[in-house]
A = this chain, B = another copy of it.
Amino acid sequence: MADPRFFTAAGPFTLARLAELSGASLSAGADPGALFRDVAPLDRAGADEVGFLDNRRYVDAFASSKAGACLVQPGLAGRAPAGMALLLCDDPYRAYARVAQAFHPVPAFAPGIASGAVVDSSATIGEGTRVESNAVVGARAEIGRRCLIGPNAVIGEGVVLGDDCVIGANATVSHALIGSKVMIYPGARIGQDGFGFSMGPQGHLKVPQLGRVIIGDDVEVGANSTIDRGAGPDTVIGPGCRIDNLVQIGHNVQLGRGVVVVAQVGISGSTKIGDFAALGGQAGITGHLRIGAGAKVAAQSGVMRDVEAGQTVVGSPAAPAKEHWRMIAALNKLGKRDDR
């Protein structure tokens, strides 16, 4: 069960209610009135807990699980241990998200300005918003309703935040217009100057960075990630994007809707990424490129050319996936053939 020191708990819920919440159907013989207390990993779940199976690696854990119920695709139902109630669904992970959200609603917080927080008198703070201890909100900032500004976070002058945003502890935001339902994780840096200067042996001359960061609704920016503001154009993060930890996004970059950026990716200045593209961990994208909608960039790839919509590229320099894996296979053969 989730540690009550850290997580609120709702429930219990009946199996019928969990099926309704998740859009799953019950397996034959499952008792719709049975009560469940929480979700839990398959290898630790007990009789009053609900697990999920989403990755075939864990079929054995499923087959030997003591969970009272499990979200699972119909095709794997045959592997269930005797007596386990099944919540059958096409996308067990998504269904699990719904169930887990029900058991563990986001904790409420008391609106207001906490001890030690410094809010400029010209800033506006929406109804239901809490500014935590020692946070700083600058002049003319406009914070929406029901936002949570974490301890020691800093919101710069003029920043605009929509409703229902969470700004993590020690995060900083400046020069930014941010939508609603946006989560900025602890230590993320939004809106600082981009890496703009004119190089020269007589010294590098700073180029004023005069754009902003525009973030759409329902975006998450991971811990210690950095998003520089635009140099003249804006840096734009489209609605629904998910950005992991320690990601670097350079000035003028534009992400479309729902782009997924895994940890430690770097995107150089002025590159544009299409809707629902996905960038694997530690990938690097050079500047001024176009990555098409739905494109996939494998982890650690180095992308130096435009990528077409829907294409998957791998490697550094990145090549279409099939080509890359043929090169790797050829290289493997060479390595084995070579008998120095």
Contact = CB atoms under 8 A, between A and B. Distances in A.
Interface stretch (A27-35, A37-45, A75-83): A37-45
**What 3 A-B pairs come out closest when comparing CB atoms?**
A5-B158, A327-B335, A94-B198
Contacts of A246: 224, 226, 246, 248, 266
Interface string A148-182: 00111010111010000000111110110000000
A192 interface: yes
Contact of A2 (B169, B204, B210): B210
Interface of A: 2-3, 5-7, 39-41, 44, 55, 57, 91, 93-94, 96-98, 100-101, 103-104, 114-116, 118, 132-134, 136, 138, 140, 150-152, 154, 156-158, 160, 168-172, 174-175, 185-187, 189, 192-193, 195, 197-201, 203-208, 210-212, 218, 220, 222-224, 226, 228, 232-233, 240, 242, 244-246, 248, 250, 258, 260, 262-264, 266, 268, 276, 278, 281-282, 284, 286, 288, 299-300, 302, 316-317, 319, 323-324, 326-338, 340
A192 to B, nearest CB: 5
B316 A338 contact: no
Instruction: Classify the interface of chain A: helix, strand, loop or mixed.
Output: loop
A245 B245 contact: no
